C-alpha cells in the first residue's frame, strides 16, 4: 500500500499551523512532494550499492539489501522496444514550391531511394512554403529529392538528413536500464563503440545471434529538437531488426505528486482523490517523506527553526538506517 498524498499534506499543514508558523499551498506542496519523492527514490540506488558491499544478516525483515530492493520493486518494469529504421527522413527543405497546391496532412511523395515518406504542407497562393514530416518512412538518403504531385506543377523537396542506422528505442518512462534480452532467451552484452570495433574485427568475437551485443547512447534527431536525447539501443548483429525480438527490464521514474482538489462554496480547497496522484513509495517511508517536506516548507515560509528540526530528524533517521 502506498503513502496517501492527503494524509501527508494534512499532517504537514497540521505541524506548520500548530504554532501559526505559516501555510503551504497545494501547488507548493505538489512541487516539493515531487522533489522529495525523487530524492528518496534516487537514494535507493546508493543505498543498494552500499549494502551490496557489506555483510548481511539472515534474520527475517532485517536484511537491508532485501529491504532496499523491495523499495524499488514497484518501479521495476519489463517492456517492449520499437525501432527507427535506417534511412528514415529527419529533415527536408522545399526546393520548389510548385503551383496549385493547398494545405494538407500526410501528403504522399514520390521519388528518392526510399518509400512511404509523407509530409504536412503549408501553402500560400497555391505555392508550398514549408513542410513538416508526418511519416519519415525508411530507405532514403540525404540529398535525395522527392516530388509532391497533385497541383498545377509539382513541388520538389530535398532531403537534408536521414537516420543512418537502425536503432531500437526504449520505453518512454525508462529511468535506468537493466537487462536487454533477445528473443526472450538471450541476454545482450553492453559494449562501447570502441569495444564493438575490436569485437567485430575478429571472426571469433564477432557478435552473433547467440552472443549479441548492444551499444546504449543518447542521440539527437534532426535540428528541431524532436526526441533530442532519447536513449537509443544499437543492436549487433544487424540481422536483429525486429522490435518484437528485443525487450528490456528497467526502472521507471516515479510519477509527479498531485494533491488534487476542488473549490468549496467558501473558497476552501476540498481534497479530490479522483484527480490526485499518490506517492509511490512504500508506507514505511511516510515519516521520511513528511520530515523532508517540512524541511522544504521551512524555506518556503522562511522559518529556519522548522528547517533545522526537520533536517536533524532526517539525518538521524539516515544514520540509524545505515549504521
User: Cell 540509524 maps to which residue?
Assistant: 320
In this structure, the number of other CB atoms found within 10 A of the CB of residue 72 comes to 16
pLDDT tens digits, residue range 3-54?
Answer: 999 999 999 998 887 656 567 899 999 999 999 999 999 999 888 887 777 7
What is the mean predicted confidence (pLDDT) over 286-310? 72
This prediction has a pTM of 0.75
Residues 6+ apart with CB under 8 A from 285: 3, 40, 71, 279
Q: How confident is the model at residue 204 (pLDDT cuts 50, 70, 90)?
A: very high
Q: How far is CA 83 from the centre of its chain?
A: 17
Higher pLDDT, 191 or 267: 191
Q: How far is CA 35 from the centre of its chain?
A: 16
- What does the pLDDT read at residue 316? 61
Q: Which of 132, 70, 67 is nearest to 103 (CA)?
A: 132
pLDDT tens digits, residue range 13-24?
Answer: 988 876 565 678
- What does the pLDDT read at residue 313? 57
CA distances 193 to 110, 204, 234, Å, are 36, 18, 10
Question: Quick one: 171 exposed, middle or buried, by C-beta within 10 A (0-12, 13-18, 19+)?
Answer: middle
Provide the pairing of β-strand 145-148 with 189-190: unpaired
Q: How confident is the model at residue 303 (pLDDT cuts 50, 70, 90)?
A: low
pLDDT at 225 over 50: no
Amino acid at each position: 500500500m502506498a503513502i496517501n498524498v492527503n494524509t501527508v499534506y494534512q499532517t504537514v499543514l497540521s505541524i506548520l499551523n500548530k504554532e501559526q508558523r505559516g501555510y503551504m499551498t497545494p501547488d507548493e506542496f505538489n512541487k516539493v512532494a515531487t522533489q522529495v519523492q525523487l530524492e528518496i527514490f534516487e537514494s535507493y540506488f546508493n543505498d543498494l550499492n552500499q549494502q551490496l558491499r557489506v555483510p548481511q544478516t539472515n534474520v527475517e525483515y532485517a536484511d537491508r539489501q532485501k529491504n532496499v530492493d523491495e523499495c524499488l520493486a514497484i518501479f521495476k518494469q519489463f517492456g517492449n522496444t520499437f525501432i527507427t529504421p535506417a534511412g528514415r527522413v529527419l529533415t527536408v527543405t522545399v526546393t520548389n514550391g510548385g503551383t496549385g497546391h493547398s494545405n494538407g496532412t500526410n501528403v504522399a511523395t514520390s521519388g528518392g531511394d526510399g518509400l512511404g515518406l509523407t509530409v504536412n504542407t503549408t501553402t500560400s497562393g497555391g505555392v508550398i512554403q514549408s513542410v513538416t514530416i508526418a511519416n519519415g518512412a525508411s530507405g532514403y538518403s540525404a540529398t535525395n529529392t522527392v516530388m509532391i504531385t497533385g497541383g498545377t506543377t509539382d513541388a520538389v523537396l530535398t532531403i537534408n538528413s536521414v537516420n543512418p542506422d537502425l536503432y531500437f528505442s526504449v520505453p518512454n518512462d525508462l529511468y535506468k536500464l537493466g537487462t536487454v534480452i533477445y528473443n526472450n532467451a538471450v541476454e545482450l552484452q553492453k559494449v562501447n563503440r570502441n569495444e564493438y570495433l575490436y569485437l567485430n574485427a575478429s571472426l571469433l568475437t564477432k557478435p552473433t545471434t547467440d552472443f549479441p551485443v548492444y551499444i546504449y547512447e543518447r542521440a539527437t534527431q534532426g535540428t528541431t529538437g524532436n526526441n533530442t536525447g532519447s536513449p537509443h539501443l544499437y543492436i549487433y548483429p544487424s540481422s536483429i531488426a525486429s522490435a518484437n525480438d528485443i525487450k528490456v527490464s528497467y526502472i521507471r521514474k516515479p510519477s509527479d505528486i498531485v494533491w488534487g482538489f476542488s473549490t468549496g462554496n467558501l473558497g476552501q480547497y476540498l481534497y479530490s482523490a479522483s484527480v490526485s496522484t499518490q506517492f509511490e513509495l512504500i508506507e514505511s517511508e511516510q515519516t521520511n517523506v513528511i520530515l523532508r517536506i517540512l524541511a522544504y516548507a521551512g524555506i518556503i515560509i522562511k522559518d529556519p527553526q522548522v528547517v533545522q528540526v526537520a533536517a536533524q530528524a532526517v539525518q538521524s533517521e539516515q544514520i540509524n538506517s545505515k549504521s
